[in-house]
Amino acid sequence: MANEAHPCPCDIGHRIEYGGLGREVPVEHIKAYLTKSPVDTGKAVIVVQDIFGWQLPNTRYMADMIAGNGYTTMVPDFFVGQEPWHPSGHWSTFPEWLKTRDARKIDKEVDAVLKYLKQHSHAKRIGVVGFCWGGVAVHHMMMKYPEFRAGVSSYAGPDILEKTSRRIHLLLQICFNIKVLKVSWLTQKLKENCKVEYQIKTFSGQTHGFVHRKREDCSPEDKPYIDEARRSLLEWLNKYV
């Protein structure tokens, strides 16, 4: 999602066949996909869906990958039962569809998820990862909730940093063809306002959704970028959560 004012067509890419290692659980008024870490580390990561919803197998695959590295992971239904975007949908209707799914109006759901992770998973250190729509949510959540020690926002678009904070450990993964001017603006914005470590990683030649909506075996040229992005994601979480 390029930004919420001028959305770009988010190609669903490769929808993988994946059953998942976790289970669906009720979390107050919503459902969520929960995967427990093989080892109880007291750490948890909330994985925020893209426009294709919390049940997209690709997103659950990413959650399970993170869980395998020592984090209880949860993919909540931040659309609260509303239908996700369908790949066959006409993009002229996308702005209207997005109005009822504001990535910055999810506080009730975040409160419920944090409560669940603290009470049922005994999470003491929490991070957040989001893709596309979820990348916008990541920045909102880190700005508002001190519980989040680190965040990774993948291809959310540069406009998420209209407001930023001195305290957020944020990794931005940018892959679509964003103007050099915008990257410079992002860097300057973070330099001025963020007094803890941040990082902007660009992946030229990669399409929107490449971190979680491209198969690792799709082509020899793409695999190194996919691997690097996923490795960077885990390294950032390991460093700060």
What pLDDT is recorded for position 65? Answer: 94
Q: Using DSSP, state whether 118 is helix, strand or coil.
A: helix
**Tens of pLDDT along the chain (241 residues)?**
433 443 444 555 677 788 999 999 999 999 999 999 999 999 999 999 999 999 999 899 999 999 999 999 999 999 999 999 988 888 899 999 999 999 999 999 999 999 999 999 999 999 999 988 998 899 899 889 999 999 888 875 545 555 554 455 666 655 444 444 455 656 666 666 665 556 666 656 666 656 666 555 566 777 777 788 888 889 999 999 9
- pTM: predicted TM-score of the whole model, two decimal places: 0.83
Which helix (DSSP H) or strand (DSSP E) does residue 235 occupy? helix 223-240
Residues sharing a CB contact under 8 Å with residue 231, sequence separation 6 or more, in sequence order: none
Q: Which residue reads 């941040």 in tokens?
A: 198
Structure tokens of 76?
A: 């909540």
Residues sharing a CB contact under 8 Å with residue 85, sequence separation 6 or more, in sequence order: 10, 51, 52, 53, 94, 97
